[in-house]
Amino acid sequence: MKETWSIVMLISGALFAGGVIPIAWQRAPAWRAADHAHFRTEFEHTLRRVDQLQPAALLIWLVSTVGFASSPSGTDRAIAAIAAACLLAVLVGSVTSLVPIQRRPTDQRSDLSAADVDRLRTRWLAGHPIRTIVVLAAFAALVIAAAM
């Protein structure tokens, strides 16, 4: 059963990390430089596409990591348990912080001032690199744990 958990864990982790990294690497710098209207349009377009897969990939990754961590062995189990705690932190942080922030600029009906857009963009772009670093650390740890 451990092999099944590890396969699901690594595939779903790669899918989630593969969605988070391009935003941090490519989109975030472009969003920082964009004017308010262009930022809102591009931000909404990207998040609409990404948000279709990312939540499911994160939940599957978290569940399969917990399943892998329940295996009866030593160090790999401990690594997976720590990674699961990191993934839970990413999930909670995303739901409580980043998702509420991203809803406002993506609602084209809302009449946000330039200062509001700047404030929301700055907060979201500050939170996303933290999420990216935690995701990459968890994925790297789980690759090591799966190889043990």
104-141 pLDDT tens trace: 888 877 888 889 989 999 999 999 999 999 999 999 99
Residue 13 pLDDT exceeds 90: yes
Q: Report CA-CA distances (Å) from 16 to 8, 31, 116, 122, 148.
A: 12, 21, 29, 23, 22
d(CA 6, CA 65): 8
Size of the chain, expressed as the number of residues it contains: 148
**Residue 39: Cβ within 10 Å count:** 19
**Residue 97: Cβ within 10 Å count:** 16
48-60 pLDDT tens trace: 888 878 899 999 9
Q: What is the pTM of this model?
A: 0.89
80-91 pLDDT tens trace: 999 999 999 999
Average pLDDT rounded to a whole number, residues 34-59: 88
